[in-house]
Amino acid sequence: MKKFDIAKGLVALVCLVAVIGLTGCDDDVFDVHPNSIGGAWSCTFTRAGDVTLYESWFFNQSGSTVSGYYTFKGDRYTFSGSYDDDDGEFRAVDSDNWTLSLDFDEEDEGKGTISGVSGTGGFQTWNAKLSR
């Protein structure tokens, strides 16, 4: 009888430890944000009803301050903003007053949008996916 009670107790203890281990973890613990986004990145710009563009970005980073440039439809736009390596968020405004919002949830990948008023098409939002 004692062997059975000990075995039941051990099984219960193992189950309790497993449940605590599974419920005690926050998904954000596994997110990997790069410490720095400095350097060259390849980019794919997409927008419904438009062609896919393959462009490039270059980031200069000093602490949380970021500046650089990107190419879009063959033109070059400079930007300045900030990067928070705790949550992987990059926010900036470019030389044409477009808003840049990217999230770096992987070491070598960023996703987000650039949005603003186009000279020919009114307000637009393009999806950007960066990789290095």
Question: pLDDT tens across 35-93, in order?
Answer: 999 999 999 999 988 999 999 999 999 999 999 999 998 899 999 999 999 999 999 99
Evaluate whether residue 25 is within a structural domain: no
How far the first Cα of the chain sits from its last, in Å, is: 63
Evaluate whether residue 89 is within a structural domain: yes
Evaluate whether residue 67 is within a structural domain: yes
Q: What percent of the chain has pLDDT over 90?
A: 63
Q: Which domain holds residue 96?
A: 39-131
Residue 16 has pLDDT above 70, yes or no: no
pTM of the entire structure? 0.74
With left for phi above 0 and alpha for psi between -120 and 50, is residue 118 left, alpha or beta?
A: beta
Evaluate whether residue 75 is within a structural domain: yes
Residue 68 token pair: 């650089």
Q: Which amino acid is at 74?
A: G
Evaluate whether residue 6 is within a structural domain: no
Please count the CA atoms within 13 angstroms of the CA of 63 that sit on its side-chain side.
1
Evaluate whether residue 85 is within a structural domain: yes
- 94 sits in which H/E element: strand 89-94
Evaluate whether residue 68 is within a structural domain: yes
Mean predicted lDDT score pLDDT of the chain = 85
Residue 119: per-residue pLDDT: 80
The CATH number of the domain where 82 resides is what? 2.40.160.90
Residue 20: per-residue pLDDT: 53
Q: How confident is the model at residue 121 (pLDDT cuts 50, 70, 90)?
A: confident
Number of domains in the chain: 1
Q: Residue 58 to residues 39, 46, 80, 100: CA-CA distances in angstroms?
A: 5, 19, 11, 14
Q: Residue 75 to residues 21, 41, 45, 55, 78: CA-CA distances in angstroms?
A: 51, 16, 14, 10, 10
Evaluate whether residue 82 is within a structural domain: yes
Region 11-21: what's the mean pLDDT?
56
User: Dihedral of CA 32/38/40/42: which sign?
Assistant: positive
Residue 61: per-residue pLDDT: 97
Residue 18: per-residue pLDDT: 56
Residue 122 token pair: 């009114």
Residue 118: per-residue pLDDT: 85
